[in-house]
Structure 1
């Protein structure tokens, strides 16, 4: 197959602060134009077994009122305005974070839900831009330096897919270059507190990101041990509030945390502890929302395995709890394919 040259513009160097990558050969004709740029009673009986005072029960009283939540779709509720500044317009989209940070933080600290959400998303975007600028140039070099003539068809296809991924990432960085210009350590150090504040204000993505975080998402945690105590105090109330808003990804996070095990060894698991009854309860709730025609053998096997660890009474109570929770919180918010799996990537932005 004839290969055409691929131009990698010097914009990669200009924005990512690395040496320019020149001409590279070995791409398919389809990629020849690619330019890489930076850029119920029963429920009561269930609650007797799945204690509303226990960790992670949906009956746990949340500390955040409906007045400052978002809907499960992410739309800010009109009742969320809690202070005069919340009626003021936000800075224009993509305005440099370096210039808007102080205003957004002050408004977020004063209870402005929209400002809190905006600050979280802007800092998160800039954190992703930094990651891209640090990693993608070298990754692009390695991919582009491969010799297509020595690749099998499958390897060439994988290489082309990687190039497409690189392009999307670099485009994201370029599109957010103005937003993130001159952003430094002071702004980036506010990411974890901003995530918590936005989650408390009702941003569903922030809540999933915060509750489902691991220490790799929190650079600087050793210098801020209060972040750990904040997490222990806030993770379950946030999760409860999100579930009560019909948030399927949060159900997935809770099911995984209560299941325990090596693959579920997150900070949330350390808060909840492993609990087969709770794990089955949330897994059962997920199964009730399984999208039609999208049956998962893995999920079915997991539910069967968890059920085997329960007594008949425990399973009956958990089934009743899950059915009640589904009818109360999720009947009007159908679960979408891939939605629960995406919960683990709530802290990831970009393409």
Structure 2
């Protein structure tokens, strides 16, 4: 890929990180909502409210079909205690907002360095010899720089005054959101667990025991909810020889590996099928005919019950990031 096109792609990606985040913030609990009673997990809008456009009294007008950007991001430190109380009481939207805000604030310096570095590199580039199409791309990169600079100011405001103690609650709030059924938190926590904040893990080794005790119930909840991300994580974690925290917590299991691999195959898009069939043939050699038949029956039953509704493994494209939250 030519250098100028590479920079366009990277700068566009950073717009998603530092700009798209505020579209996601529009979906979470807002400052005027913080004092509202905590919602029960059983409340039907407990999670759905996080995915709805902002329509409150402080929202700016938006074009039809757009999510209204959050106009005045409150500093996390000003709302942290109230959000934490709501999350602890079972409010999934509050827990979701907390782990996403904390994730941004824990990485704010790294994000800023990357944004600044790419901006400097772009501004140093000679433009006299650029062809018209390349010059147009350069203008797009300048627009991206300006957009990222504005959004970095907003992120700085969000994270201003966030204490180390607040940032240390990232993993517990990620786990809380996962336990309350937030699918992105569930996938991230299953995949990385306390390794999502490796520095915090050094101070809280007890997080590992909590993770080990949590993964089975979270995995069961994901499968019951028809979450292909969970199936993809499980089929890999149970594979004999697999590495990673989830594999270590669950342990290699040829039978479970085949079950989840077969389930994944049932929802696979056509381009995946040949490779998955090869994997299934190899995995089948580790099972006797009775266990193989049991695994096939289980996968078919679970697929019909939980997954056969038009959804497919398209949510787990090759190389997907379990912690690539959609508004970051």
Tell me the TM-score normalized by structure 2.
0.68
1:324-339 equivalences under 5 Å are: 324-332=301-309, 334-339=311-316
1:19-77 CA distance string (max 9 Å, x none): xxxxxxx958x97xx899876xxxxxxxxxxxxxxxxxxxxxxxxxxx83799xx6369
- Mapped contact 1:213–1:267 kept (Cα < 8 A): yes
C-alpha RMSD over aligned residues: 4.1
Question: Structure 1: any 5+ residue segments left out of the alignment?
Answer: 1-25, 40-66, 78-88, 151-155
Residue 305 of structure 1: how far off its partner (Å): 1.8
- Mapped contact 1:128–1:350 kept (Cα < 8 A): no
- Provide the rounded CA distance (Å) in 2 between the counterparts of 1:347 and 1:297: 27
Structure 1's 207 and 139: CA in aligned 2 closer, same or farther, altered over 3 A?
same
Residue aligning to 1:314: 291
How many matched pairs?
273
Higher helix share: 2
Residue aligning to 2:218: 238
Residue aligning to 2:281: 304
Deviating more after overlay: 248-257 vs 114-123: 114-123
- Mapped contact 2:228–2:315 kept (Cα < 8 A): no
1:189-213 CA distance string (max 9 Å, x none): 1100101111111111111111111
Residue 110 of structure 1: how far off its partner (Å): 2.1
Residue aligning to 1:68: 41
Question: Structure 2: any 5+ residue segments left out of the alignment?
Answer: 20-39, 51-55, 60-69
- Provide the rounded CA distance (Å) in 2 between the counterparts of 1:311 and 1:144: 64
Spell out structure 1 runs of 4+ moving beyond 4 A: 34-39, 139-150, 166-172, 340-343, 347-351
Q: Which structure's CA Rg is the greater one?
A: 1
Q: Which among 247, 259, 270 is matched to residue 248 of structure 2?
A: 270
- Mapped contact 2:193–2:211 kept (Cα < 8 A): no
- Provide the rounded CA distance (Å) in 2 between the counterparts of 1:239 and 1:76: 24
1:1-351 equivalences under 5 Å are: 68=41, 75=48, 94-138=73-117, 141=120, 173-174=152-153, 176-213=155-192, 216-218=195-197, 219-261=199-241, 264-291=242-269, 293-332=270-309, 334-339=311-316, 341=318, 344-348=321-325
Structure 2 counterpart SS, 1:212? helix
Residue 147 of structure 1: how far off its partner (Å): 7.5
Tell me the TM-score normalized by structure 1.
0.64
